[in-house]
Chains A and B, each alone.
Chain A
Amino acid sequence: MKIVILNGEPAKGKTTGMNAALDKIEKTLTKAGHEVEQFILRDMDIKYCIGCFGCWVKTPGRCVIKDDAYIPYKPIMNSDLLIYASPVKMKFISSLLKRMMDRMIPLIHPYMSIRDGEMHHTERYDKSPVIGVVLGDATPDDMEFIERYFKRTALNFFTRVGFVLNVDNAVKEVENAVNNI
C-alpha cells in the first residue's frame, strides 16, 4: 500500500512524542512492505491559502502560490492512505496542518452536485486516499471531536476515515489499523 504522512507537529524534537512516533510508524510500515513517504510540514515553505480560487478558475488544478505546498500533491493523489498527524492545540489540529489542508482544494473541482443529500464539490481525480489520523496530547473528548471533523471533511474529498489513533498507542496499533482499512 502507498502511504503518505503529513506531519503537522510544529515543534522539532520530542515535545509531544509525535516526531519520534511518526518516524517509528514510518519504519514499521515500511518493514511491513508498505511504501511510505513522510512530509514534515514545519520544514516546508507552505503559505496560507488566500482564497483567490486561482486553483479552480485560473490555472485549474494548480495553486497559483509558488511555494512547497504542491510537493505532496502527486504522492497524495497516488496513495491509498493519507495520514494526517498533529498534536491537539486549543482543542483542534495545529494551524500548521490546517494550513496544508486549506492548500489542498486544488485537488478537487469547483463544480457542485448533491451527494448524500447535501451539496458538495465534484471530483477532479478518479480516486482519493482513505484518511488516517494520528493525534498527540489528545483527551478522549478531543479524539472523538476531531474524528467528527475528519469524517465531515472526508465527504468533501470523496473518501472516508479509516482510523483515528492517539499517538501514545499509535506505534503499537498502526500496523493493525492499516491492515483493517
Chain B
Amino acid sequence: MQLTIFNGSPRGKKSNSSIIIEHFIKGCEEAGKVDYKVHIVKQLKKAEDLHKIYKTSEVVLVVFPLYVDSMPAMMKEFFEWLEPFVGKKGLPKLGFIIHSGFGEAIHSFFLRDYLDKIGPEISSEYLGTMIKPSTEGMAIQTSGMVKKKMRTIRDLAAAFIQSGKFDPVIMEKSAKPIKYNAFAKVIIRLIKGLGFLDFYWNYLLKKNGAKDMHDARPYA
C-alpha cells in the first residue's frame, strides 16, 4: 500500500504529531508492508504544492492538533486549497488523526464532526477520524509512558494494514475519556489543590525564568 502522510502541526517536524506518525508507521510495519512518505503541511508554500501530492496519492492520512477548539489556521488553509477537488473522481482514500492538549475527547468533537462533513467530499473513501486526547508534553514523558499512550495509534495502523479500514472499536477506545467522571474530577481537584496540576506549565515557566510574571496582563 502506498501511504501519503501529512503532518499538520504548526510546529512542523518537532511535534507531537510527529510522534503519532512514528507510532502509526510502526503499527503498519508490524502488520505488513507499507510504502509511505511524510509531508510537512507547514512547508507547503502554495495550493499547487498540495494538489500535486494529493492528486497522485492512493491513501492519505492527515495528523494534526486541536487549536482553539478546531483545526490550526494552516490546516484550514489546507482544506481551502483542496476546494477544487470537491466532488471530483479519482481522489485518494482519506483519514485523520486529531489530538489535543486537554485530556477529554469532548474538546475534539466539533473538529471530528467537521472532518466527517468535509472528508467524504474530498476523497474517494473517507476512512474516519480518530481522536487522541492529552498529547501535550510527550517530549518530557518517559518512553514507556509515550508507548502506552500511543498504543491505540499502533493498533489502528495494524488493523488498517489488514482491512484497509479505520476500526471503529479502536477509534472509540482512543477517544476516551469523553469527559472525566466524578471520581477523576475529585482527584484532579486534589492535585490542583496540591499545586501539581500545573506542573508542566510551572516547569516551563521556571526553566525560562518567567514564573514571577506568569499572570502578567500586558493588554489590560
Contacts and interface: CB of A to CB of B under 8 A. Distances in A.
Interface residue SS majority, chain A: mixed
Interface in B47-65: 65
A105 to B, nearest CB: 7
Interface stretch (A24-32, A85-93, A162-170): A85-93
A76 B118 CA distance: 32
B219 A58 contact: no
Contacts of A119: 102-104, 180, 188
A17 B190 CA distance: 52
B210 A107 contact: no
Contact of B201 (A76, A95, A110): A110
Nearest to B77: A95
Interface stretch (B7-15, B24-32, B140-148, B156-164): B7-15
Given A57-B205, A61-B219, A101 B74 contact: no
Contact of B216 (A61, A74, A76, A94): A61
Nearest to B103: A119
Q: How large is the interface on B (under 10, 10 to 19, 20 to 34, 35 or more residues)?
A: 35 or more
Interface string A87-125: 001111111101101101101011111100111100011
Interface in B68-87: 68-74, 76-77, 79-80, 82-83
12 contacts: A48-B10, A49-B67, A57-B204, A60-B213, A91-B118, A92-B76, A93-B76, A98-B70, A118-B106, A118-B107, A118-B180, A124-B215
Interface of A: 48-53, 56-62, 70, 73-74, 76-78, 89-96, 98-99, 101-102, 104-105, 107, 109-114, 117-120, 124-125, 145, 148-149, 152-153, 156
Interface of B: 9-11, 15, 42, 65, 67-74, 76-77, 79-80, 82-83, 102-104, 106-107, 110, 113-114, 117-118, 179-180, 185, 188-189, 192, 197-198, 201, 204-205, 207-208, 210, 213-220
Given A77-B219, A96-B73, 17 more contacts: A52-B11, A56-B204, A56-B205, A57-B201, A59-B213, A94-B76, A98-B68, A101-B68, A101-B73, A102-B72, A104-B68, A114-B180, A118-B179, A119-B102, A119-B103, A119-B180, A124-B217
